[in-house]
Amino acid sequence: MTAQGYATPTDDQATWRDASPPPGRLPPHMVAFLQGGVAAILGVRGVDGRPLVGSATACRVHEATVVRLFLDRARNAPLLQAIRAGSAIAATFSSARDHRSIQLKAPSALVGDPEPEDLPEITRQCVILSDELMDLGYTRAQALAYVAFDPACLAVVEFQPDRVFTQTPGPGAGAELRR
């Protein structure tokens, strides 16, 4: 992040370029960002061809290649149905503090169930996000409601991103991050 105290698309581009990740892998700084208590929004095309949007509770990245998002099954049922039907996916991750935003895209994804070791990581990320929201002026009740989840109701959406974009507001937003 730059000295201004907020993120810029130029920061995202420079950091990506400096990391020089090999094809198909996310650099360590991006893995840390995705797992750092950020808000995640997913977009797919519904089975009727119309856009659908859903939200994720947390994210885990496996070996810098596979992104696993945790979603409430009931709230995101149409989105999960679209993924099972083969929809492409776009997932945008945003920091509440500085609005830094990264978008990952993939031609398809899988739907599954969380593993027992996922719960502590989901909880850790929710604590980070709720603390950040309170620092920004949310009441404790608002912040806790925003990150609330029922472990028994979670599904996992898993994909291998093939394209990465900066969505951080400012000149250059929407640019694909490439080597």
Query: What are the tens digits of pLDDT across the range 41-60?
Result: 999 999 899 999 999 999 99
- The domain that holds 101 is classified in CATH as 2.30.110.10
Look at residue 151 and tell me if it is in a domain. yes
Distances (CA, A) of 146 to 106, 169, 176: 27, 23, 30
Look at residue 127 and tell me if it is in a domain. yes
Angle made by CA atoms 173, 20, 90, in degrees to the nearest 5: 45
Look at residue 4 and tell me if it is in a domain. no
Asked if residues 147 and 134 have their Cβ atoms less than 8 Å apart, the reply is no
pLDDT in tens, 103-148: 999 999 999 999 999 999 999 999 999 999 999 999 999 999 999 9
pTM recorded for the entire structure: 0.93
| pLDDT(5) > 80 | no
Look at residue 174 and tell me if it is in a domain. no
Q: Which domain holds residue 158?
A: 9-166
pLDDT in tens, 74-108: 999 999 999 999 999 999 999 999 999 999 999 99
Place of tokens 């998002």: 69
Look at residue 158 and tell me if it is in a domain. yes
Q: How many CA atoms lie within 13 A of 53 on its CB side?
A: 3
pLDDT in tens, 20-47: 888 889 999 999 999 999 999 999 999 8
How many structural domains comprise the chain? 1
Look at residue 159 and tell me if it is in a domain. yes
Look at residue 63 and tell me if it is in a domain. yes
